[in-house]
Structures are given as C-alpha cells and as structure tokens.
Structure 1
Amino acid sequence: MLDDVLVADDPLYEELYDVRKEAESVGNFIDVGTVMPRVHQLRAQAPVHKGKLREILGLPEHDRHVYAKGRQHYSVLTYEACEAAFRDAATFSNTVQGHPNPAGERTMGILEMDPPMHRGFRRTIQPKFLMPEALGWWRTRTIDGIVERLIERMGKSERADLNLDYCARIPVYTITTAIGLNGDEALRFRHAYLNSTSSSHNISMDERIRNARIVEETLLALIGARHAEPQDDLISFLLGTKLMLPGEEPRPLTDREIMTHAKLVMVAGGGTSWRQMGITLFALLTHRDQLEAVKQDRALIDDAIEEGLRWNPTAPYFYRMVMKDTEFYGHHIAEGSVLELGLGPANRDPARWDRPDAFDMRRPKLTNMAFGLGTHRCLGMNVARVEIDRAINALLDHFPNLRLDPAAPAPFMTGGLEQQGVSALRVLLR
C-alpha cells in the first residue's frame, strides 16, 4: 500500500508542496529576494526594533499566531539577542504558539508549553528522536526503503523536479510510516490538518471544523487499534511511556495527549524537512565546486547540511510571549508583548560569521539557530539530518551527473516571511 502511494502522481503534492502556493494559502507570501536585504540593513542598525517586522518593512498584515494578535511586537535580529531570548524561557514563553480551544486542550502540545510541563511531556517522546534512533530505527524502519523506492521511480526518466518528486515525499512518508498510518492516509491527513487551523486562508469555519474532525478521527482510530494490537511504531511506543510531572504520580499518556504528539510530529516533520532538504540540494546544485567536493568525500555532506541550515533556515522566525516587564537590548518591554526572533537574520549575523551571505560548507563550525536553541530546540532535528543525508547520498550514488536543467527556470528562494524554501529543483539526472 505504501509503495503504491509513495510513487503515485497525486495532484495533492503540487497543492501541498509548492512553497509559493503554501505561502499564498496562508496569506503571508513575500518577495524573498527584495525583503531579506532590507532585514539585514535593520539588523545592522540595532539588535532589536520596536514593532512587527512586517510593519517595519511595509509588508501586508499577517498574524502567524492567534495569541500574538493585537499585542506590541519587538523584532530581534542579531545572534546574541536571539540567543539571550531563547535561553530565558521564564521571561520569554512559548505559550504564544497556542490556539484557542473550547475544551482548554493544548492543541499544539509541547510547542506551547514551558518548563516544567514541557520537560515532562517532551521526555515521553524524545527517546525515539535521539541520534542513535535516527540512525537505527528510523533508517531501517522508514527512511532507507522510501529513498530506494523514489530513486527507482525517478530513474525511469531523464528529468525530475527534486522538490516534488523527492524532497516532498521522503519526510511525509517517513513520518507516516513511523506513526503507523497507512500510506494512502498521509497526504489526506496533512491536507485535512492544514485546512483545519486558524491560519488556513480563505477556508470557512465549517470546512475547518470538518477537517479537524477528520484529523482527530484518523488518529484516535489508530490509537485505538494500537491499544488492541501494538506494533513497531511511534504510537505503540507512546502507549508504553509514562508521563512524569512534578508533584504528580507517573501515569500513561491519555489518548488525546498521544494524538497531540502525533499531530505535531506529522505536521512538523512532514512540513519543514522537505523544504530544508530542497534548500540543501539547491545550495549544492548552484555551487558546483562544493558539489564536486561532496562527490569526492561523502563525509562533507554533513557539513553541507549544517551550512544549508545556517544559510537559509526554512523557518526563519520564532515567536515568544513576554511574561514580565523586562529590559532587553535598550528597550523596556512590557509584560504581554511578543518577541519575533529572527533566526534567519541571526544566522547571517556578520558579528558571528565572515561572509555570512555566502554558502560555504568549509567555514568554521559554529552553532546556528535553524533548529532553535535551549528548551525548545527542535525535537526532530536528528531525524531531519539523517533524511537529508540519506537523500543526498542516494542521489549521488545513482545519478553522478546530476545537474540543474538548463532548459528550466533557475531556482530561487521563495515563500513567506515565516517559512521559506526553493521554488523548484528541475534537474537532469544523467
């Protein structure tokens, strides 16, 4: 079942995995090429600016998080200032990422939690995302087989769009298989989830409710099936874990808590890794000297991945709620304000990196912010790294003459201020 769906020409791929269309669907599309130089100018003027970055730049209004709407914003653009905010979870809270819910549920799970609750819930799932598991269970259970099938599919043609034919498919089916969903449910699940949130643009409330019901019914049915018959998958793993919170007795996760974990993993893992994979391939295909170096020494792939994360992180802005009045880089910031943490601008801060706008996988290794820092450092970063590593290795193994298609438009960065990726990656395989 998975094999058939994995290689099918499903029109939902073009709907869900076109970076520009994705941005337009949530109403936050920008001209990345003209906006980013202006952001870098702002960073050179001051580490923190009062106001929404979109307002400062004269961009159309867009509220990424419901709880951020109507609040005073501050835009944080240097590495040092972003790091200071990430390291102070007590003052700068992740609760801004929540969504209103009549039942009072935390619909975004650990994304909207702060310590100590965040720590307790994260520990129930984190063991499955450590690097030994990414290199072991995730590779053998999911990644290697998926990559092999996609390489076989692409090998039947002379040309491919790596964005749609490869990058879009690896993460979504990696996560789908790991959770335990059937292959034919993957795209429908993602489509339903994206059309159930408050950020869904031009989607009626009735349609959002209908899609939210599809998401919940799909996951709760899967959890029920695993109660009756555990399998070697992430849902079964979560059913066997214990939640330990301060002052409470250890207990199993509820079905709805497991569902929230699964939604987060499915949407985050299937919705960001594909863009970052495309960015890494874009960087190598447009820097032929570095691509040739990688061909000669595959150990350099890890360096290329890290530099791609620094050079163009696919999620360049994170948000934090200010929990108390504080002084922060020359500003008195009142409780209830919102910080916009510019990971993208911070990753190109010339105070930290020489020639920051250049993609150079040989540069000295310094921690970048693509996966965040501190308490909320990305849960799935190890799996994402392994996915990208295996994907690039397989391409170079089977298509050593891989190159951009000169008959196709040149690729470029596109998307919204808040999520970015490459326009397309049309290549010649031989």
Structure 2
Amino acid sequence: MTRTLPTERQAGQPFDPPEGLAELREKSPLSRLDYPDGHTGWLVTGHALAREVLADRRFSARVELRHLPIPGAPTSDQPAPPGMFGSMDAPEHTRYRKLLAGQFTVRRMRRLTERIQAVADECLNAMADQGSPADVVPALAQPLPAHTICELLGVPYAERDRFQQQALTLFRLDNTPEETGAAYAAVLGVIGELVRAKRKAPTDDLLSDLTASDLTDTELVNVGFSLLGAGLDTTTNMLALGVFALLEHPDQLALLRAEPQLADQAVEELLRYLSIIPFTVRTALEDLELHGEHVTAGESVTISVPAANHDPEHFPAPDKLDLRRKASGHVAFGHGIHQCLGQQLARFQLRVALPALLAKFPSLRLAVPAEDIAMRTDMLIYGVHQLPVAWED
C-alpha cells in the first residue's frame, strides 16, 4: 500500500497521534510512502523497527540524500554546511559530537538547575503579579528555554526575543523561501558577531569553550545555530503542550501535585505521550532487507515518532496518559548516534517548570474551552499557539 504521511488529527483529540497511523501500524510497522517530491520510500510506525532503523548506520542522516514527507518542509541537494552536525554521518558527525558531548552531561545540567529554577520563579512571580488570566506561552514556556539556552551558549539575553521570532519563522510550514532565507541569515549574522566577540574575550559558556577547539568561525556559527534553534522551539512547545495535557487530565494533574517526586517519571511519560516532533528521516545507503521488505539504496525511510511512541507492543494502553508509567525507551529524542544532544537540558527544564507552575497556582485551569485552544498544526513542531489559563487569587 502506498500513501502519504497522515498529519490530520481527530477533532477534539489534540493529544492523539494523527489519524491513520495506528491503522497503518496494525497492518505492518513498515509501509510504502509517497513523498511530495515524487519519491517513493517507506514509513516506519512500529517502536522496535524505529529504534532498529535509527541505530543502523546503513541509514544516513545526510540532508542532501533525504526526501521529506510533508509539503513545504525545507529541502536541500547540497551537503550540510560545516558545523550542522545533525545532518551528517560519521566521521564528520562524530568529530562534532565528541567536541559537544562534554558540554551536555547530566552533571553540567544539574549545575544549571539552580539558575533554571530562579528563572522559572521569576516568570511565575511575574505571571502572578499580572493576575488571572494569563497565557502560559509568553509567560513561561517561551522565556524559560530562551534564557536557559542563551545562558548556556553565552548569547546576550537581550537578544532572546529576536531569536525566538526568527526560530518561529524557520519552523513555519507556510513560509516563502524568501522568509525562511531572511530568518536564517539574521540568526547566523547575530551568532557570527557573538563568535567573534568570544574569540576576543571568552566568558564562561559553551561557545567560549569551543573557541579553544579547532573549529573555524563558520563551524562555530553553525553549531551555535543548531543548538539555539533546537533548544528554543522544542522545549517551548513541550512545556506548553505538557501543561495543556495535564489540565485536561485532572487525575494525572492531581497525582503530580500530590507526589511531586514523580516529576522525572512524569516528564518521560509526557515526552512519549505528546511526541511533538512528528518524524525523522533516514536514507538507505545500500540495498538491504528491513522487516521482510527490500529497501533500495537511495530510498528514504520516515520514522513516525508519534506512531512509534504509541505502539501498544511496547507501551500498553499507549493513548492513555499515565504518569506512573515507565516510559523508558521512547524515541521522543530519537535513538542511536543522532539522539538529541540537548535532551538532558530539556528534561531539567521540564522537571523544574511543571511542578513549580502547579505549586504556584494550586487552582490552575484553562481560561477557555479546550476546543478553543489554537494548535500549531501549521508548524513543524507540534504544540499550542496560546494557552490561556486562570486561577483563584
């Protein structure tokens, strides 16, 4: 069976994966897929098969080889620029990954926790001072990741609004090429200025540390761009959508309030349940057999993250939010050598922010009917455009 990637979600079910993915997975975890550019490749919807493909180095992450499964997504027939390591294979990917891995250890992220807590408290105090109702997105979900990633990279916090707006532009699916190009150039320009400043006067941050390596200015700019872009929009939407999901599941909300020590486990379940990254793509470097099918060299394989994370073979009752679930093994951050480098940073922010929000506002509720929440169906990263909430003073 050949078909296009399901992207439409059932009305009134904002947290469920797009319709059609479960049906495809029930028939087979591997099916044929039509791509908008005319390419015919494959779609993976099963959890075990997703991890198998992501761990198999016969499948490439190179940007110039892949076909993307949705119209309007940016494509390129050129290799990734120096420093854009997420779209490279070994040995180039390995070189950058080794340089960066020490910057994203659990130990370093723990050192950032105190600062993350302070920023979250500042955001929540300002939200309380403003009074009910308020929008969680600009009040907490945007500024917390912006401040955190800017501090980690050494980006002046005064630049955060400009970076956020450009990142939002880059992730839109209805951009013109000119709009995308302008946003891309603007962000690279600012990071370029920052890199040159760090060369002259290093400070205590990731970019300054990397100036002591053998990376060129171009590589440093592109590494910074990759980390900044990934650290803003993803965590913002995971945080806002996580709040929405908890407010719509009062039993789970009450559980987290009563047992805040469940925060780590709750974050993993929310990452699995919400799966805000819709897909990742790999391309076969050689002819091979996959789940009994012959995959030809050059064929792209799209891994549906929501489908894999809702596979009942690995996660019983997968469409139920269960904060007591052991959600280990989910692929919200990918798997294999390209697994998200900043995953610990994202986890720490969510573990701090969600319990802090619930503790600050014990009577927190949606300020509008759930069906009136504007979902980000026009963006590559799923989430909400706004999340109006209210509480009793």
What is the TM-score with the length of structure 1 in the denominator?
0.79
Q: Distance in 2 between matches of 1:51 and 1:408?
A: 33
Residue 281 of structure 2 aligns to a residue in which SS?
Answer: strand
Q: Distance in 2 between matches of 1:127 and 1:396?
A: 33
Identical pairs, percent:
27
1:391 to 346, 353, 377: 353
Answering whether residue 89 of structure 2 is matched by residue 121 of structure 1, we say no
2:60 to 93, 116, 119: 93
Q: Which residue of 2 aligns with 1:345?
A: 307
Q: Which residue of 2 aligns with 1:371?
A: 333
Residue 63 of structure 2 aligns to a residue in which SS?
Answer: helix
Q: Which residue of 2 aligns with 1:74?
A: 42
Q: What is the CA-CA distance between 1:406 and the residue it aligns to?
A: 5.4
The answer to whether the 8 A contact 2:283-2:299 is kept is yes
**Equivalent AA in structure 2 for residue 83 of structure 1:** R
Q: Distance in 2 between matches of 1:413 and 1:407?
A: 13
Q: What is the CA-CA distance between 1:311 and the residue it aligns to?
A: 0.8
- Assess, with a 3 A threshold, how the Cα gap between structure 1 residues 338 and 418 changes in structure 2: closer, same or farther: farther
Q: Which residue of 1 aligns with 2:70?
A: none
Deviations 1:347-388 (A, max 9, x none): 111111211110011124431111111111111111101111
**Equivalent AA in structure 2 for residue 188 of structure 1:** R
- Assess, with a 3 A threshold, how the Cα gap between structure 1 residues 215 and 110 changes in structure 2: closer, same or farther: same
**Equivalent AA in structure 2 for residue 329 of structure 1:** H
Answering whether residue 154 of structure 2 is matched by residue 180 of structure 1, we say yes
Residue 18 of structure 2 aligns to a residue in which SS?
Answer: helix
Q: Distance in 1 between matches of 2:39 and 2:370?
A: 44
Q: Distance in 2 between matches of 1:112 and 1:324?
A: 18
- Assess, with a 3 A threshold, how the Cα gap between structure 1 residues 262 and 29 changes in structure 2: closer, same or farther: farther
Q: Which residue of 2 aligns with 1:130?
A: 105
Q: Distance in 1 between matches of 2:270 and 2:374?
A: 14
The answer to whether the 8 A contact 1:96-1:320 is kept is no
Residue 122 of structure 1 aligns to a residue in which SS?
Answer: helix
Q: How does 1:154-303 map to 2 (within 5 A)?
A: 154-156=127-129, 157-192=131-166, 195=169, 201-205=174-178, 208-240=180-212, 242=213, 252-303=214-265
Deviations 1:384-408 (A, max 9, x none): 0111111112212321222223567
Q: Distance in 2 between matches of 1:380 and 1:345?
A: 23
Identify unmatched segments of 5+ residues in structure 1: 1-27, 56-60, 62-68, 243-251
Q: Distance in 2 between matches of 1:279 and 1:209?
A: 28
Q: Distance in 1 between matches of 2:288 and 2:365?
A: 51
Deviations 1:85-114 (A, max 9, x none): 01102x111003786488x65267111111
**Equivalent AA in structure 2 for residue 147 of structure 1:** A
Q: Distance in 2 between matches of 1:397 and 1:107?
A: 45
Residue 367 of structure 1 aligns to a residue in which SS?
Answer: coil
RMSD (Å), alpha carbons: 2.7
Q: Which residue of 1 aligns with 2:30?
A: 48
Q: Which residue of 1 aligns with 2:343?
A: 381
The answer to whether the 8 A contact 1:343-1:369 is kept is yes
Q: Distance in 2 between matches of 1:233 and 1:112?
A: 24
**Equivalent AA in structure 1 for residue 248 of structure 2:** T
The answer to whether the 8 A contact 2:374-2:385 is kept is yes
Q: Distance in 1 between matches of 2:262 and 2:88?
A: 36
The answer to whether the 8 A contact 1:280-1:304 is kept is no
Answering whether residue 295 of structure 2 is matched by residue 333 of structure 1, we say yes
Q: What is the CA-CA distance between 1:338 and the residue it aligns to?
A: 0.3
Residue 42 of structure 2 aligns to a residue in which SS?
Answer: strand
Give the number of equivalent residue pairs.
373
Higher-RCO chain (CA-CA 8 Å, sequence separation at least 6) = 1
Q: Which residue of 1 aligns with 2:72?
A: none
Residue 332 of structure 1 aligns to a residue in which SS?
Answer: strand
Identify unmatched segments of 5+ residues in structure 2: 12-16, 66-74
Residue 121 of structure 1 aligns to a residue in which SS?
Answer: helix
**Equivalent AA in structure 1 for residue 24 of structure 2:** L
Deviations 1:263-319 (A, max 9, x none): 011101001111111222222212212212211221111121111111111103100
Deviations 1:36-70 (A, max 9, x none): 23111111011111113xx6xxxxx4xxxxxxx44
- Assess, with a 3 A threshold, how the Cα gap between structure 1 residues 175 and 417 changes in structure 2: closer, same or farther: closer
Q: Distance in 2 between matches of 1:312 and 1:196?
A: 22
The answer to whether the 8 A contact 1:316-1:417 is kept is no
The answer to whether the 8 A contact 2:63-2:76 is kept is no
The answer to whether the 8 A contact 1:50-1:75 is kept is yes
Q: Which moved more, 1:222-231 or 1:284-293?
A: 284-293
Q: Which residue of 2 aligns with 1:318?
A: 280
Answering whether residue 125 of structure 2 is matched by residue 152 of structure 1, we say yes
- Assess, with a 3 A threshold, how the Cα gap between structure 1 residues 344 and 30 changes in structure 2: closer, same or farther: closer
Q: What is the CA-CA distance between 1:169 and the residue it aligns to?
A: 2.0
Q: Which residue of 1 aligns with 2:68?
A: none
Q: Which residue of 1 aligns with 2:10?
A: 33
Q: Distance in 1 between matches of 2:233 and 2:108?
A: 21
